[in-house]
Every structure is written in structure tokens, then in C-alpha cells.
Structure 1
Amino acid sequence: MTQPHGMLFVATNISAEDEADFNQWYDHEHVEERVAISGFLSGTRYQAINAERKYLGLYETESLEAFTSADYHAAFTRQTEWSVKNLQKMVNPMRRVSAVTHRHGQGSGNNLAVVTLSSFDSDMLIAWQQQVSQTSGYISSSLLTPDAELSSPLPMEPKTPRQMLPMLLIHCSDAQTCDQLATTAAAALSGVSQRYALSWQLTKQELAHG
């Protein structure tokens, strides 16, 4: 059986006085360092349209095993001063390592909805995906199921309570469609939606070609 892809989900706020340096670090060091790790496929940054935390980073991997590899753990033993400084300045961060399942559609869009589900029913999710499959502006969706053991907290992340709730990612090509689908998904699947816009993405292929 093919193992599902993995996804590192990192969302955070940052103080206004630290924001410029934080973005420089993320854009010119951190994303590239993470995507270079064995088993990582891409790193994508988003900025909040309507969400609890302003910045979101999604890192897709070939499987959850990427987060238990020697290469991944080595990344934490050779962190730069710049990394340590910015990790300590995160405000109310959230880190989740998740399995990616229930993929529907292909591709990603410049608008993203994250719907955190209070419970999960596979049949209801599949029915919702089929219902919206022909909606203009809908691109794809997938489910993130956090792994509690792998989802160790960031330095400034509150240690308790840390709910490991499933999250539905909905990719759309326009904001209006994403707002509508986030609302319908939250209602149909008992969830709370947050909205983000794409900032930029780096893939392993791009990194390999310089």
C-alpha cells in the first residue's frame, strides 16, 4: 500500500517590529533549508486574509518518514543564529505534522481555505468533494490528519492544550469561490474555516535546478 504524503503545517503571528526580519529569514533561508531536506517536496508560504495567525507555511513530503529521518533531525542541530532568533520571536505559533489523505482534484491555487474539523466522517467529506467538484474556481482539496508524536511544539508554542484536530485544505483560483466553499465545508463537516492567500512556493525540482 502506498504511504500517504506528509505535510508540515506551521502557522504563527509575529510582532510588527520583528516582521521585516522574520520575512527575510523565511524567504531567503528557512524555506530553502527545509525543502533541501531529504523527502521534502515543496515549501509554500501563505498570508492571512481572515485567520487567527497571520503567516502559514506548508511543507509537503513524500511520506511521514521524512520527519523521522536523520537528515530532518540534523537540521535542528545546525540551525543558524538567524533561525534561532526568529523561532524565539514567533507569537502563538502552531506546528502540526500530518498525513495527507482524501486528495481530490489536482493542483493548488492562490487562495486557500483551512477548515479545522471538530470531528471527521470520511463519507461526508467524499460527498462534499463530489458535490463541489464542478464548481468554477475550485481546484483541489485534501485532509490533514495530525500525528501527535511527530507534532512536537515549536519553542514558543503553548504546550497545553494542543488539540490534534483534522484540517481540510481547499485550494481555489479566486477569493469569492474560496470563501463560499469554506463556508459550505464548515457547515457540512462541522468545522471552523480560516482563509489565506498564496505568497510564494519553492519545489524540490526548482531547488535541484538552481
Structure 2
Amino acid sequence: MNNAPDSSPLAANANGMLFVASDVEPADEADFNRWYDREHVEERVRIPGFLSGARYFSLEGGRKYLGLYRTESLAVFGSPGYRAAFEKQTPWSLANLDRMRQPIRRVCAVRAVTGFGSGSHAVVLPLAVTGDVEALVARAAAVGRQLAEQPGFVQSYLLAPDTALSTPLPREATEGRVLQPMLVIETSSADAARTARTAAAAALDADPAAGWLLALGWKLSAAELN
């Protein structure tokens, strides 16, 4: 496995990532999951510039549902295709966006990428907001190299939120809203994810109890739709 990290100082060629997490009332979950699985993921991945969409389900911490959508760049979120999809939601989308509870929407640059592939489990570790993003990128890359030596490691990357692009969802609280950077670690097992969460939190001065542990539900790549 090639574990060389992304060291581009300005992240000119960084992928983008749409991060959407939420809880849902039990009575709404069946339709919410049908919408996500039968319409929403495919609809988003078909937007030009989107590379993949994946659904995760929380095992420990965070929100119950997480969607991660990787794009060619942050510029995709200002493209006509994305604006059309975002501004002209289907009736099914509008109904289920309104069902989200405590939603979190972030549009991020994907930095400090180490490894490749998709793991069966993932950790999302929130980090402290910093004014020196490039220093955090360097630290995240160093942590990725350390994690890559552990059994079960698949990939790690830093999500650096873009303030202008990370507009909130309809039910997302805006008062006191903090756009924290997040380290994502993908692994091949839940135990490997827990071990990686502990190690990464210690290296990055983060609280391991704040790190989410999630299981991958399914993933769709744009190449599969061509």
C-alpha cells in the first residue's frame, strides 16, 4: 500500500468532501433510509465532479447517520450542476431534510491523505479550531504515517471546513456554530478503528471520547454510474 501523504502546501489539487450527519426520529427512519438509498446518494454522485458517496452508521458517538461525498475539488460546490441540485430539491428530499435532527453540514478540503481504499469502519475525530491550517495538515500527515503501521489501517485524511461553502442545513443550529477540522480514519475492523482513535487523539491533543466510530453501510462511485 502506498502510504505517502498529501503534502501540497496550498492544497491546490485537494479533493472536496461534503460531510452531512444527522439524527432522525425513529418513526421517520424507514422513509429516511429509503430516500437516502434509493434517491439521494445516486442523485448527488451523478453531479459532475462528484467522485463517490458513502453512508455510515454510528456505533459510538456522534450522529446516527453520516454521508460522505468526495468531489474532484471544492470548486464543484460552486458549479452549476451542484447549485441546481442544491436549490431544486425533490419533494422527497425536502421532506427528509426537514426530518433531520441536530444536523451537521460541512464542505471541506481533503488534506493529509495517507493510504487509499475504503474501510469497513471509520473514525471521525473532531479537532480544535486553529489559525494555522498548514501546521495542522503537517501534524495530521505525521499521524497518518504512524497509524499506517497499525494492523487494519486503510486510509486517513484531514477534513478542513470551508467557511463560505459550509452553509447550514434547514434545521441546523447557527448560534455558536463552530467549524472544527476533523481527522477521518478508515480501517478494516471496529477494533482497529478504536485503536486508531486512541492513538490519533493522543497525538493531536484531542479527546478520544469525542471521536465517532461508524460502520460503512454502502458506497457508490461515479465510475459505477457511467
Task: Give TM-score scaled by structure 1 length.
Answer: 0.95
Residue 202 of structure 1 is matched in structure 2 by 220
**Whole-angstrom distance in 1 between the partners of 2:138 and 2:74:** 24
Q: Which amino acid aligns with 1:100?
A: V
Instruction: Flag the 1:123–1:36 CA change in 2: closer, same or farther, 3 A.
Output: closer
Q: Does the 8 Å CA contact 1:11/1:93 hold for their aligned counterparts?
A: yes
Give the whole-Å Cα distance in 2 for the aligned partners of 1:77 and 1:146: 21
Aligned to 1:134: 149
Unaligned runs of 5+ in 1: none
Q: What displacement does 1:77 show?
A: 3.4
Aligned to 1:43, the other structure's residue is in SS state strand
1:65 alignment partner in structure 2: 75
Partner of 1:197, secondary structure, is strand
Matched, 1:102 2:112: yes
* Residue 32 of structure 2: aligned partner: 22
Task: Give the deviation of 1:80 after TM superposition.
Answer: 1.3
- Aligned-partner residue type, residue 199 of structure 1: G
Asked if the contact 2:41/2:220 (under 8 Å) is kept, the reply is yes
2:3 corresponds in structure 1 to: none
SS of residue paired to 2:29: helix
Work out the CA distance in 2 between the residues paired with 1:52 and 1:134.
27
Distance in structure 2 (CA, Å) of the matches to 1:122 and 1:25: 35
Counterparts of residues 78-117 of structure 1 (less than 5 Å): 78-117=88-127
Give the aligned length.
Answer: 208
Aligned partners of 1:57, 1:132: CA distance in 2, in Å? 24
Q: What do the CA deviations read for 1:129-163 (whole angstroms, capped 9, x no partner)?
A: 22222211011100000001100000111112211
For 2:62, the equivalent position in structure 1 comes to: 52
Indicate the larger mover: 122-131 or 38-47: 122-131
SS of the equivalent of 1:165 reads coil
**For the Cα contact (< 8 Å) 1:119–1:190, is it kept in 2?**
no
Partner secondary structure for residue 23 of structure 1: helix
Per the alignment, residue 46 of structure 2 pairs with 36
Runs (4+) of structure 1 exceeding 6 A deviation are none
Contact between 1:66 and 1:72, CA under 8 Å: does it hold in 2? Answer: yes
- C-alpha deviations, 1:171-206, integer Å up to 9, x for none? 100111110110111121022311100000111011
CA contact (8 A) 1:97 1:150 kept: yes
Structure 2 gap ranges (5+): 1-10, 131-135
The amino acid across from 1:178 in the alignment is A
How far residue 119 of structure 1 moved from its aligned partner, in angstroms, is: 4.5
Q: Does 1:189 align with 2:199?
A: no
Q: Which amino acid aligns with 1:144?
A: L
How far apart in 1 are the matches of 2:199 and 2:79?
38
Contact 1:95-1:153 within 8 A present in 2 as well: yes
Q: Give distance in 2, aligned partners of 1:122 and 1:144.
A: 9
Shift of 1:2: 4.5
